[in-house]
Structure 1
Amino acid sequence: MVSSWNCNEMGLIIELCLLGLPTNTDVTTAPFVKIGKGFYYFENTTTKNWFDAFTSCRQMNADLISFETQSEWSLIMDYRRAVKDTNRYWTSGTDLGAEGSHVWFATGKPINLNLWTINNPDNYKNNEHCDELGWRPSKTAEDGMNDCSCSAKLRYICEAPEPQTASFIIW
């Protein structure tokens, strides 16, 4: 049943804007997956260079993933293990601005968590300036970060900002 109101007869209108989604809703966040407090899109079919991956995320109002905390890293790695994901993905990490100073391009903050695989970043052949997740130096090693040629074709993970919920109470 649709109700119609005469705006002139409304008394009090209260607007509420909150971060996140209400728990009692069936709103989908697809294609983003909620992991912890974050919302992530895993591109698992198409591979792109770092610049095209960055553009694809921006077209979704998102950014290539940046790991701001060890907790976020652990949640993403736990999710990948749970779904048996062994892909390599672009992150927003790069040292394009200053060789050897890796930052999260999406935030401008330095990469100061110990996420790198052994002996990385290494700027192999002076041609690795974009950072990937999921590289393994050996079959027994854990996934970690590696600097890679920005022109390599990899999958990518986009990180969306937390959605906002707007509600109106009309008295």
Structure 2
Amino acid sequence: MYRYKLVTVLLLQIMLPLALVESSNFSTRVEYKEVNTVPSTLHKNLEPFKLIGRNSYYIAKDKVNWFQAAQKCRNLSSNLINLANDEERLFISLYLNETEKYWLDLNNLGQEDYISISTGSHPVYVKWIDNAMKVDDERKCVALVSDSQENGFVMKNVECLEKSRFICQLKSPRTISILVW
């Protein structure tokens, strides 16, 4: 992912000064467009990930502890899911089994606050069961669990060594199209 951003930045730094070069004999114009989704022609190449909304997810059937889940996602060049908003939570809930728990990328191992392992910062979105995050002396990981009072799944503190299913999230590659004429 870092390589894509670096290449994009380098291309823009090189191409922007050339955006409009005119002389009496020719003119050159460069246009570019950033695309944040995977083109439909590449969907087959995403296996075992499935395109759900604007992102690609792998919903695992096997049950593992949080550490194994994080490693399995890394082996697939992805991360445990990091929910960005309520819309994403509700949308992904449609594909989950209500009797199962699913690991998220959040934990409070080594600190008091919950931190995302994919971003290294506090989560941008949380939706805790009973609208309250339970803070205690034990270090916990976070899983999605079904809640009959809420629509879909909500977040719950769970022992990190407990076995649960997991969801890997593949970040959509950012592509850039450049047209020079």
The TM-score with structure 1 as length reference comes to 0.70
Match in the other structure for 1:77: 93
Cα deviations by residue, 1:52-73 (Å, 9 ceiling, x for unpaired) = 1100000000000001222221
- Report the AA paired with residue 130 of structure 1: C
1:115 aligns with 2:115: no
1:33 aligns with 2:43: no
In structure 2, relative to structure 1, the CA distance for the partners of 1:135 and 1:77 (3 Å cut) is: closer
Secondary structure at 1:152 match in 2: coil
1:154 aligns with 2:164: yes
In structure 2, relative to structure 1, the CA distance for the partners of 1:68 and 1:97 (3 Å cut) is: farther
- CA positional deviation for 1:39: 0.6
Instruction: Select the residue among 63, 74, 78 that pairs with 1:62.
Output: 78
What RMSD in Å do the two structures reach over aligned CA positions? Answer: 2.8
CA contact (8 A) 1:120 1:146 kept: no
CA contact (8 A) 2:43 2:51 kept: no
Query: Unaligned stretches of 5+ in structure 1?
Result: 1-15
- Report the AA paired with residue 157 of structure 1: I
Match in the other structure for 1:43: 60
1:52 aligns with 2:68: yes
Rounded to whole Å, the distance in 1 between the matches of 2:116 and 2:157 is 13
CA contact (8 A) 1:63 1:159 kept: yes
Cα deviations by residue, 1:2-49 (Å, 9 ceiling, x for unpaired) = xxxxxxxxxxxxxx99553334x26412211111111100001x1111
1:131 aligns with 2:142: yes
Query: Unaligned stretches of 5+ in structure 2?
Result: 1-32
- CA positional deviation for 1:147: 0.7
Cα deviations by residue, 1:78-111 (Å, 9 ceiling, x for unpaired) = 343xxxx222111101111312x11222112313
The TM-score with structure 2 as length reference comes to 0.67
**Superposed structure 1 runs of 4+ greater than 6 Å apart:** none
In structure 2, relative to structure 1, the CA distance for the partners of 1:37 and 1:151 (3 Å cut) is: same
